Amino acid sequence: MIERMRFYAQALISALENNQTPTICLNEFVSSVRDAWIKFEQGQITVEISQLPRAMYMFVVEELPQVVENPLEKEKIIRELKLFLNTIDLILQPKETN
């Protein structure tokens, strides 16, 4: 689940950096974050700081789709997506359980 989320975040960054249409990558990224959120709520994903996932979820599900197609926001979105990935890897350090 976490790897899927990382993969689609990277794919979205790549699409934006290469001026490609980000719709498919965005949809897959949002879907992977929703799935991870469900597993987090069910206790199947644990993190170091439990308050951050909600804010990250809201960013991806509610804010990102509103601005991703805006070319004026492209650089900001790329920075925020990279921050999202760094936050997962360096701060949250998620672990999946069964």
- Looking at 20-24, 38-42, 62-66, which range is the least confident one? 20-24
Check: pTM over 0.85? Answer yes or no: yes
Structural tokens at position 85: 């990935």
The burial class, CB within 10 Å (0-12 / 13-18 / 19+), for 17 is exposed
Cβ contact 6:88 at 8 Å = yes
Residue 98 predicted with pLDDT over 80: no
Q: Indicate the pLDDT class of residue 97, thresholds 50, 70 and 90.
A: confident
Task: State the average pLDDT over residues 61-71.
Answer: 92
Looking at residues 19-29, what average pLDDT do you find?
A: 92
| Rounded Cα–Cα distance for residues 33 and 19 (Å) | 23
Q: Which residues, at least 6 apart from 77, have a Cβ–Cβ distance to it below 8 Å?
A: 16, 64, 67, 68
pLDDT at 27 over 90: yes
- Residue 10 is predicted with a pLDDT of 97
Whether 69 has a pLDDT exceeding 90, the answer reads no
Q: What pLDDT is attached to residue 11?
A: 96
Residue of 16, 34, 3 whose CA lies nearest to 80: 16
- Domain interval for residue 81: 2-96
Average pLDDT, the chain: 93
Q: What is the rounded distance in angstroms from the CA atom of residue 76 to the CA atom of residue 26?
A: 15
Q: Give the count of domains, the chain.
A: 1
